[in-house]
Amino acid sequence: MKFFKSVSNIIFMSIILVLSVALVSSVAVMREKENELETVRSRESEYQSRLSEKENENSGISSELEEIENQKKKLEDENARLKEEKEALSKEAEKQKAAASSAQAELKKKAEAQSAASSVRPAEPVKNKVCYLTFDDGPSKNTLKILEILKKYGAKATFFVVDTKDIGYVRNIYEAGHTVGLHSATHNYSKIYSSTDAFFSDLKKISDRVEGIIGVKPKVIRFPGGSSNLVSKSYCNGIMTRLSALVGEKGYSYFDWNVESGDADKTTASYTYIRNNVLSGAKNKNSACVLMHDSTAKTTTVQALPEIIEGLAKMGYRFEAITPETNGYHHKINN
C-alpha cells in the first residue's frame, strides 16, 4: 500500500515538475513574444512617424507642383503674347522692308533718269589710244567690202544696223568677230520719235530680226541722229531725255560718237573729204569713236577706209569693237 502511495507521490511530483517546467517555458515564451510585440510596436511607431513625415513632404511637393503649374501657365500665356507681338512686328517689318525697297527702286530710277538727262558718261574710255570704227544704216552691198578691209588690217568694228534688204549680212559681221548693234528698223524719225512706245516697238522689230539670224540679242544701240538730235523735238517734246534713261532700264547701252567722217554731209562725199575729217578729228584724242555709214551710196566711205585705218594706226590707235561695258561717247541731250 505504501508502495502505491509512494508511486503516486512520485507521479504527482513528476506532474508538478512537468507543469512547473511548462509554466516556466510558457512564461519565457510569453516574455519573448511581448518583447517581439514591443519591437513591432516600436517599428510601427517609427513607421507611422516616417509616414507622417512623408505625408508632410508630399503635401509640400504638391504645393510646389501647384505653384510650378501656375508659373508654367503664366509662362505659356506670356509666350503666346510674345509670339503674337513677334508676328505683328514681323508683318510690320515686311511692310517697311517692301516700302523701303520700293522707295529705293524709285530713287534709283530717278537717279538714273537724272544722270542720263543731265550728265554724260566719261568722254574717254579707260584704255588709251583705242579707236571704235562704227558704221550706221547697213547692211548693204558695201558691207562685205568693208569686212574684207577690216580683216586685212586685223581691225574690229561695230555695225549699227537697220532692217535693209541685205540684213542677212549681219551673220557675216557677227561671224567675223565684230559687234552687231541696233540702229532702228525703219530709221523713220516721225515714226520712231512719236512716243517711247513707238521707239521700243521699232527697236524690238530690228532686235528680233537680228536675233533670228545670229541667235544673239544685241545689247548696244545708237539712236538715229544720236542722243543729241533736235529733229525728235518736232514729234515729241522731251523724248530723248526719256529714251536715254529707259534704254538702260531695258538692258541696252547707247553710244554716240566723238569723231565724224562727214560721209553723211552729201549723198556721196569724196573719199579724201571723209579721210581728212576722220584723221583730223581723231588727232590728239585719247580715244576715238568714228561715225561712218554703210548704206549703198557710201562707196567713198569704203574707198577711204584703208587710209583711215592706216592713218589712225600711225597715231598709235588700235581698233576694237564696242561692248555694252564700253565707256563714254554720250552727247549732251537737247530734247
Catalytic residue among 136, 137, 202, 294: 136
Q: How far apart are CA 91 and CA 93, in angstroms?
A: 5
Whether residue 136 lies in the annotated active site: yes
Eight-state DSSP code of residue 232:
G
Residue type, 280: S
Question: What residues contact 263, with CB distance under 8 A and at least 6 apart?
Answer: 269, 274, 292, 293, 298, 300, 301, 304
Sign of the dihedral defined by the CA atoms of residues 318, 321, 323, 327, in that order: positive
Q: What is the C-alpha radius of gyration for the chain, rounded to an integer number of angstroms?
A: 54
Question: What residues contact 317, with CB distance under 8 A and at least 6 apart?
Answer: 129, 130, 131, 282, 288
Expressed in angstroms, the distance from the first to the final Cα of the chain is 173
Whether residue 293 lies in the annotated active site: yes
Cell of 180: 552687231
Catalytic residue among 183, 293, 330, 331: 293
Give the SS3 label for residue 190: helix
Beta strands in the chain (DSSP E): 130-138, 157-161, 179-182, 220-221, 253-254, 259-260, 287-293, 318-319
The H-assigned helical ranges of 119-232 are: 143-153, 170-175, 189-192, 196-214
Q: How far apart are CA 284 and CA 290, in angstroms?
A: 14
Cell of 141: 552691198
Q: How far is CA 120 from CA 25, 188, 271, 285, 292, in A?
A: 132, 26, 32, 17, 22
Q: How far apart are CA 105 and CA 54, in angstroms?
A: 73
Q: How far apart are CA 147 and CA 176, in angstroms?
A: 8
The catalytic residues are: 136, 293
